[in-house]
C-alpha cells in the first residue's frame, strides 16, 4: 500500500469514528448541561488522563481557562489539569505510588459541585480509576471520555461518552472533538451566545 492509500485509509477511519459519536448524543447533551450548571454555580472542572490523554487534559483545561475561539474573548472558566505539575507528579510517584498522582491533587482542590473529566482510551488506567472512586466518595459528578467498551472506569462515571474504537489515535481524535464541542456549547449557554 502506498502513502496516499494509507492517508486515505486513516482519513476514512477518522470520519467513520466521528460519525459513530452520534450514538452518544444523549450523554454529550447531559455533559453540556451539567458543566454549564456547575460553572454557573461556582464549580470547577478537573481533567485527567495518561500519556496522550494527559496532553488532551491539559489542552482542554487551557481552552476552558483561556478561550476556544480567537473571535470570542470571555472571562475564564475555572478548569485544571491534574497532570500539569511535574514536581507534584514525580514526588507523588516516588513517595507514594504512580496510581495516586491524580488522587492527591483532586483531594486537595476538589469541592462540592466540581466536575471530574476522566480521559482514558482503554478505561482501565489505575490512576484514573482511583480518582474516579475518590470523586464518587466526595459526591462529585464524573464525566468519562472513554474508548473501546469503556473498561472498568465506565461503571464509576455518571456520564459515559464512549468512542467505539480500539485504535488509540482515533479515540484521541474524537476525545479532542468532544471536548471542543462541549466547551463551545457551554460557552453558548453561559454567555448566551446562540449563533
Mean pLDDT in the chain? 95
Average pLDDT of 81-89?
A: 89
Contacts of 157 (CB under 8 A, 6+ apart): 118, 132, 142, 143, 144, 146, 150
Domains of the chain in start order, with CATH, are 3-190 (3.40.50.10490)
Q: Which pTM value belongs to this model?
A: 0.95
Which pLDDT score, from 0 to 100, does residue 83 have?
Answer: 84
pLDDT value at 84 more than 90: no
Average pLDDT of 142-167?
A: 97
pLDDT value at 195 more than 60: no
Average pLDDT of 138-151?
A: 97
Alpha-carbon span 190 to 39, nearest angstrom:
8
pLDDT value at 75 more than 90: yes
Cα 144 from chain centroid (whole Å): 7
Please give the grid coordinates belonging to residue 166.
Answer: 480500539
Average pLDDT of 119-129?
A: 97
Distance separating the N- and C-terminal Cα atoms of the chain? 44
pLDDT value at 1 more than 70: no
Which pLDDT score, from 0 to 100, does residue 66 have?
Answer: 94
Q: CB burial class (10 A; 0-12, 13-18, 19+) of residue 116? A: buried
Q: Which 3 state secondary structure label does DSSP give 140?
A: coil
pLDDT value at 64 more than 80: yes
Element (DSSP H or E) covering residue 59: helix 52-65
Average pLDDT of 15-20?
A: 96
Percent with pLDDT over 70 in the chain = 98
Please give the grid coordinates belonging to residue 144.
Answer: 468519562
- Could you tell me which of 110, 161, 166 has the C-alpha nearest to residue 134? 110
Average pLDDT of 67-89?
A: 91
pLDDT bucket at 194, cuts 50 / 70 / 90: low
Alpha-carbon span 187 to 32, nearest angstrom:
10
pLDDT bucket at 69, cuts 50 / 70 / 90: confident
Amino acid at each position: 500500500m502506498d502513502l496516499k492509500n494509507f492517508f486515505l485509509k486513516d482519513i476514512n477511519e477518522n470520519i467513520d469514528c466521528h460519525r459513530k459519536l452520534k450514538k452518544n448524543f444523549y450523554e454529550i447533551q447531559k455533559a453540556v448541561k451539567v458543566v454549564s450548571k456547575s460553572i454557573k454555580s461556582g464549580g470547577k472542572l478537573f481533567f485527567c488522563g495518561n500519556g496522550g490523554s494527559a496532553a488532551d487534559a491539559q489542552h482542554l483545561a487551557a481552552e476552558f481557562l483561556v478561550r476556544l475561539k480567537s473571535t470570542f474573548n470571555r472571562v475564564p472558566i475555572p478548569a485544571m489539569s491534574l497532570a500539569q505539575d511535574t514536581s507534584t507528579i514525580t514526588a507523588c510517584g516516588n513517595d507514594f505510588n504512580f496510581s495516586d498522582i491524580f488522587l492527591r491533587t483532586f483531594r486537595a482542590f476538589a469541592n462540592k459541585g466540581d466536575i471530574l473529566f476522566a480521559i482514558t482510551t482503554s478505561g482501565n488506567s489505575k490512576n484514573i480509576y482511583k480518582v474516579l472512586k475518590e470523586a464518587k466518595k466526595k459526591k462529585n459528578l464524573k464525566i468519562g471520555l472513554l474508548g473501546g467498551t469503556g473498561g472498568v472506569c465506565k461503571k464509576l462515571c455518571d456520564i459515559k461518552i464512549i468512542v467505539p474504537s480500539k485504535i488509540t489515535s482515533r479515540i484521541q481524535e474524537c476525545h479532542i472533538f468532544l471536548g471542543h464541542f462541549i466547551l463551545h456549547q457551554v460557552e453558548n449557554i453561559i454567555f448566551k451566545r446562540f449563533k
